[in-house]
Structure 1
Amino acid sequence: MDRRSGLMLGAMALLLAGLSAVWMLQGIGGGNRGFILGLRGTKLAALVTVATAIGVATILFQTVASNRVLTPSIMGFDALYVLLQTGLVVVLGGAGLAGLPPGPKFLSEIAVMTVLASLLFGTLLLRGARDVPRMILTGVILGVLFRSLSGFLGRILDPNEFAVVQSVSFASFNRVDATLLPWAAAITAAAVLAAWRLSARLDVLALGRDPAVSLGLAHRGMVLGVLGLVAVLVSVSTALVGPVPFFGLIVAGLAHGLMRSARHAALLPAAALSAAILLVGGQWLFERQLGQAATLSVVVEFAGGLFFLYLLLKGRIR
């Protein structure tokens, strides 16, 4: 990592630390400070965990896909998770789903998501990695298919069970299941550490299939392994706050723009820090300054959608 990248990452880390301190300490006066700090600390940990998972997952996915437009959400990862949740409600019912132990349920969902995503999207990327328009079109079609199936299953549910499905279909940074946070943080940390250890191989993978194979990289196994990490990270973030389709696109664009380097040793932490700064700072702004007059997830999706159209119109896909 060059000196400029190191200084930039250090500045981003300091900015995140400052925002975190403001988030935790602003308005702390009399009363039960311990209770307030506990609530704020839990929410801060959830925001940082989600941000890290989305940022790293997007960089990994764009490396595998060899372009800067595709993200896991655009390719239907989030829709697959919602379909899985809808299927569980249909089979078990709302009460049965709520009665499952949170930890084992969370781990089981991640395992199923990892297998399904690796099979579906691994096949797609391995066969069509050189045809970017086909990948985008296929990913959008798969996302629409999964959402349509979720909608069809939702129509046969009673209103109470349908409300359970709706709660996982839209992102909310105010709704975090604290019981899942230790599991989510541990899994995210393990996946990010694995991605960090693969950073040199990811640099080779980003060169393309033929150059990577000529340099001795086991391309197919590497692609499937990285997709497994992406599926795990997307499952963690979606389980905690719900789907956030375009947030990863914004974060990846910031990471590339700030680092000006293709080295994953710099891109991965830059994406994680950028995402955390945006989520913590944005949630602080909307919650503390604007009094919930607007919703962060809606603003993120609107800005991300505009950025997606900008990349498509400019042709900046690599």
Structure 2
Amino acid sequence: MTDKRRNRLLIILTVAAIGLIAFYMLYQLNPDILFYQLPSRTKRVVAIVIVAVAIAVSTVIFQTIVNNRILTPSIMGLDSVYMFIQTSIIFFAGATSTLLLDNRINYFVSVILLVIFTVLVFKYLFKFTGNNVFLLLLIGIILGTFFGNLASFMQLLIDPQDFMVLQSRMFGSFSSVNEQLLLFTSIIIIILLIIVFKDFGSLDVLALGREHAVNLGVNYDRKVSQLLIIIAILVSISTALVGPIMFLGLLVVNIAHEIFETFRHRYMIIGTMLFSTIALLLGQMVVQFVFNNNIELSIIINLVGGLYFIYLVLKRSQK
């Protein structure tokens, strides 16, 4: 595929995403409650775009570093750590704690703890393991399993009514996003996007592998450490904002690879952002207009993404 066709495809995807946003905003509007519906839908659309961008960018960069299209940042156990944080709050402070009920406080506490965890795992363990990415992944999987099991153990001990409160945090949802958090999160996303967009060339070189990147003049260790911190922040803020959505990154990045047929990050990152936005918008419309909000969006995304993951594993095993 030529660059001209890729640019045309990006334009088509942009128009499709804008069209879906307009359709979602206008579908089944009730004039009697218009002043409630429009702000509510606007808030969800902004949250969807934020999460779509964060997951798409973090997954593309992570797969570039590890040179594997099946792995995503969630393999490092961030979802398990997030659930451990929420479970710990209820276990030690109760379901009526301000740490849980105040979305702003819960968001900042979750983000800070998630970033600390990921920076420790990604950056310092990266140096400790002698810059061995796969050993880093193994340690991340072990830590994720540990925190997941610890959270499950505490969930067995808490009061059933408290567990019902916790259950709402187990699945990604755009229904109860705090408006004040959207502005703060958007500013962080924009700053990180500017940093990433200025570094497309280095990302393309990193995709060639460590030896080639070093030979071409890239400070591999320093660059990977910087990118891992960016991944940590992106994954942390999206998870703290709406909850865990495990398989979205895997799904949209691999679709972008298949369609754009390139490893150039200019197309991969922008294309994946658009695919991610479209996927979340379609999923939200199914949840809201078909199932009447009786199911969480993350369940649909994880079902489709899980099936696609199995397909990728089987496809690779046949090669």
* TM-score class, shorter: 0.7 to 0.9
**Which residue of 2 is the match for residue 244 of structure 1?**
245
Q: Which residue of 2 aligns with 1:227?
A: 228
- SS of the residue corresponding to residue 169 of structure 1 reads coil
The equivalent residue for 1:52 is: 53
Whole-angstrom CA distance in 2 between matches of 1:128 and 1:164: 42
2:171–2:296 Cα contact (<8 Å) kept: no
Partner of 2:202: 201
Give secondary structure in 2 for the equivalent of 1:275: helix
Find out whether 1:20 has 2:21 as its counterpart: yes
Aligned residue for 1:167? 168
The residue matched to 2:76 in structure 1 has which SS? coil
Q: In 2, distance between residues paired with 1:295 and 1:81?
A: 18
Taking the aligned partners of 1:284 and 1:99, their CA distance within structure 2 comes to 28
- Contact between 2:21 and 2:281, CA under 8 Å: does it hold in 1? yes
Amino acid at match of 1:220: D
Q: Deviation digits for residues 245-301 of structure 1, max 9, x if unmatched?
A: 111100111121222111111111111110100111221133224434654322221
Q: Say if 1:118 and 1:224, in contact at 8 Å, map to a contact too.
A: no
* Matched residue, 1:304: 305
Structure 1 residue identity aligned to 2:178: D
Residue aligning to 1:280? 281
Counterpart residue type for residue 182 of structure 1? L
Distance 1:99 1:293 in 2: 23
CA distance 1:292–1:168, shift in 2 (3 Å): closer
Give the TM-score normalised by structure 2.
Answer: 0.87
CA contact under 8 A between 1:80 and 1:146: conserved in structure 2? yes
| 1:1-318 to 2 correspondences below 5 Å | 2-98=3-99, 102-103=103-104, 106-122=107-123, 127=129, 138-292=139-293, 295-315=296-316
Structure 1: distance between partners of 2:68 and 2:126: 11
Deviations along 1:91-140, one digit per CA (max 9) or x if unpaired, are: 544333447865465345323322321221346666488785x6765544
Change over 3 Å in CA distance of 1:207–1:296 after alignment to 2: same
CA distance in 1, matches of 2:188, 2:100: 23
Give how far 1:148 is off: 0.5
**Secondary structure in structure 1 of the residue aligned to 2:168:** helix
Q: In the aligned structure 2, how far is the partner of 1:149 from the partner of 1:277?
A: 35
Aligned residue type for 1:35: Y
Gaps of 5+ in 1: none
Is the 1:115–1:228 contact (alpha carbons within 8 Å) kept by the matching residues of 2? no
Whole-angstrom CA distance in 2 between matches of 1:111 and 1:198: 26
Contact 1:66 1:129 in 2 (8 A): no
The CA distance in 1 between the partners of 2:82 and 2:30, in whole Å, is: 41
With over 3 angstroms needed to count, the CA separation of the structure-2 counterparts of 1:97 and 1:204, relative to structure 1, is farther
**1: distance between equivalents of 2:23 and 2:3?**
31
More displaced 10-residue stretch of structure 1: 283-292 or 218-227: 283-292
Query: Quick one: distance in 1 between partners of 2:88 and 2:306?
Result: 28
Deviating more after overlay: 99-108 vs 40-49: 99-108
SS, match of residue 291 in structure 1 = coil
Alpha-carbon distance change, 107 to 296 in structure 1, aligned in 2, over 3 angstroms: closer
Contact 1:102 1:179 in 2 (8 A): no
Q: CA deviation at 1:172?
A: 2.4
Give the drift of 1:212. 1.0
User: Sequence identity, in percent?
Assistant: 35
Asked if the contact 2:83–2:151 (Cα under 8 Å) also holds between the matched residues in 1, the reply is: yes
| CA distance in structure 1 between the aligned counterparts of 2:164 and 2:295, rounded to whole angstroms | 22
Cα deviation for residue 178 of structure 1 reads 2.8
CA distances 1:176-201 after superposition (whole Å, capped 9, x unpaired): 23332222222222222222222211
Shift of 1:145: 1.4
Aligned residues: 315
Residue identity in the other structure for 2:51: V
2:174 & 2:106 partners in 1: Cα distance?
A: 21
CA contact (8 A) 2:200 2:265 kept: yes
Secondary structure (helix, strand or coil) at the match of 1:171 reads coil
Aligned-CA RMSD value: 2.7
- Which deviates further from its counterpart, 201-210 or 93-102? 93-102
Give the CA deviation at 1:89. 3.8
Q: How far apart, in 2, do the equivalents of 1:14 and 1:28 lie?
A: 22
Higher RCO (CA < 8 A, seq sep 6+): 1
SS in 2 for 1:173: coil
Greater shift in the superposed pair: 213-222 or 113-122? 113-122
Q: Mind listing any 5+ residue stretches in structure 2 that lack a counterpart? A: none
